[in-house]
Structure 1
């Protein structure tokens, strides 16, 4: 154990995603993704924003890596854009696309920053969407081929991988709620897509094992500790269902190789989905992860409702709590509760916080530095929860802050700022925030650089 309670090899890093920062959507032979199409649909994104330019990381990555190095970050979680590698989603890989990520990985390693690559952070090639997208079972095989190509190209240097980022969002926000690409509102399709994503995950893990590359592979799930709004039986039951919908529906197949029986019964009764074919669960079960990635932002407090939502529940916002610009409650205890629950219920898996961070207004600038004391308090609280989890024997191995730089925040466009570095979207200039200065000092004081 290092000083101040963190293991000496504990990784503190930052996280980003390709569509949110890269821009250069027409360069290097890149094909269109579902987010290119969705973001250009009128009324879908706040202010009509798109990721066409984003933060121009495609050209400015040396500058961004220099910022990481100056802070003392030892890890960088990034995603590869599938349509940069396969512009049509399949076929022959793009040399230009692979060259870009080769240059990026090399530059990270030259600066003593370890890359963690996410293969899928929501930018499905539009050509595959036109064949049915994640509703088409064939997409799981195309994903496995893409994954194998990336493992083969980068796996001699990259040792940490995520298959998918937040499959709940891809499935339900994208196909049931409709606020994310591809913008559909079909509950049965969303449930089927969730199963195809679990199949794609398992096939990618299998491809990694077959590639002969050494390293670790996991998945990043967006998870929420669930708290009933009252001790009533109705609220307790609603919180249990919410846990199944958000958490167990993905935790169980990833860590146990099965779907939770209560949720399977609900989905089959209401939607006659998912269609699970012979051999599917065997495939999922025989491809365990090396670690579980957890994206934690806030807790959910649940009350029973008679609404027409899938699970007939309402989320309650506790009075007196602090909330971020996203309307998310600041609740570090939830991270500790969540880690403890997974440790207990899923046989002590290795875990990494693959995302944690907050959006605030970031309006006050003094001496060229954005004064974001609220973000510093947020990070202090959650890093302290991580330290406490480690003290309690939980196998937590890293903490990646969302995000390195302000970026395209999906349906919110450029209106929400999560970065520890400020981006001027007119000039693309990067500017230090006080949180980045604080993090540099934190890393030094804890011997994590």
Structure 2
């Protein structure tokens, strides 16, 4: 069967400043939370590899963009580093950063690749974190100013902006589950961070609209469909709770301009509501987006709790549901994640049926595999597993589009194997292999396959 996608479909990949640029504390750049955390607790990072050891995009951007062209990308998402552009978070703009980002944006456009730019991809400037990070409303104001500066500097050429990438991840990692700095475990503080992130998002959207720029602005959310173990009402309710906490807590404010009443009720019931101020509600209403980026990696399978809660333990979302290992599920054994291609269709269907069918695109989808050198044939990684993964998801994406979903593109995570937070280089995701010792780039078989898909605006599959 031939799968053909709509005209002008966005084919590309995604990355971030902190995971690719390198030059972590050079070229005028200020320290991020990741630089600080690595300096103080390097053992938390796989093989002791920190944020300075990335795929050197700062030095090799021209050659890397040429490789994007080789892969027939017509679009590419990366981020601007707040701490590179404004090293102390609130003060002077770093001219070296302006020159770098101007060169990258101009070269992308020169090569026929549309730049998609994210403003915040987990990389809080350490000076802002020392003020409390997203717990402090001063940081919202500082972020709003940073966003305005980005729009003014680059908004004449960048027509697709995203305020945040996966904003729930710093909430989960930094304030609930201890996998991001500042390693706090406190739900009410997490809820405050989530609310303030939405307020920061809305302030940037408001500034963008007020500036009359030519493009559009949105946000990138990692949406993880919640599937109940069974149709027993207790399991169904558990899945609804998981959906409220991990999907709708950001999806509803950015698409509907308000929080789900059920989420507010449950947080109130457990005394976990963050402090709101006059004007917050109105600001959130102004943050409704033009374009939604959807990151999809795996489903969430849940069931009702069958054990009592330890009332002395900190409140967690898992007080209201439990995780469920579905027998027979297809797994990526390297990452430990389930592969469930229909999830991408279910997300699009939910958006179409329940959220007014917003303009959206798949902003990340990917498969991380450990020790890919095992699969080298004749000097090239034969990652047929990644080709199968992408093709399977594209088939379900195509079905969603044929049923009316307004999905405008597909971006893979990622372009070149890059540094990935505490996992560093444990799992590789790229279309292009990175040799860490030499920084040599070698296109994998999946990269060649994706280049053909993009060139043909589709693919054949039996």
Q: Structure 2 length normalisation: TM-score?
A: 0.94
Classify 1:302/1:248 alpha carbon distance in 2 versus 1 (closer, same or farther; 3 Å).
same
Partner of 2:388: 377
1:431-446 to structure 2, matched below 5 A, reads 431-446=442-457
User: RMSD in angstroms over aligned alpha carbons?
Assistant: 1.5
In the alignment, the residues of structure 2 paired with residue 415 and residue 275 of structure 1 have an alpha-carbon distance, to the nearest angstrom, of: 39
Cα distance in structure 2, aligned partners of 1:102 and 1:445: 31
Work out which of the residue numbers 387, 399, 404 in structure 1 matches 2:398: 387
Q: Which residue in 2 is equivalent to 1:321? A: 329
SS in 2 for 1:294: strand
SS state at 1:441 partner: helix
Structural mapping, 1:298-337, within 5 Å: 298-305=298-305, 306=307, 307=309, 309-312=316-319, 313-324=321-332, 325-337=334-346
Query: 1: distance between equivalents of 2:304 and 2:423?
Result: 28
Aligned to 1:96: 96
**Within the alignment, does 1:26 sit opposite 2:25 as a pair?**
yes
Residue of structure 1 in register with 2:313 after alignment: none
**Which residue does 1:420 correspond to in 2?**
431
- Equivalent positions of 1:40-439 (< 5 A) are 40=39, 41-305=41-305, 306=307, 307=309, 309-312=316-319, 313-324=321-332, 325-361=334-370, 362=372, 363-439=374-450
**What secondary structure sits across from 2:115 in the alignment?**
strand
8 Å Cα contact 2:53-2:419 kept in structure 1: no
Q: Is the 8 A contact 1:35 1:182 kept in 2?
A: no
Q: Could you tell me whether the CA contact under 8 Å between 2:418 and 2:430 is conserved in 1?
A: yes
Deviations 1:113-161 (A, max 9, x none): 0100000001010001111111101111111100010111111111001
Q: Is the 8 A contact 1:16 1:403 kept in 2?
A: yes
Structure 2 residue matching 1:146: 3-state secondary structure: helix
> What SS does the aligned partner of 1:120 have?
coil
Cα pair 1:217 1:291 within 8 Å, conserved:
yes
2:9 is matched with which residue?
10
C-alpha distance after superposition, 1:399-442 (max 9, x if no partner)? 11000011111121110111111111111111111100111111
- Cα 1:247–1:447 shift into 2, 3 Å: closer
Instruction: Report the number of matched residues.
Output: 446
| Unmatched tracts of structure 1, length 5 or more | none
Query: Tell me, which stretches of 5 or more residues in structure 2 are unaligned?
Result: 311-315
Q: TM-score, normalised by structure 1?
A: 0.96
* SS across alignment from 1:78: strand
- Look up the SS of the partner of 2:206 in the other structure: helix
**In 1, Cα distance between the equivalents of 2:347 and 2:440?**
37
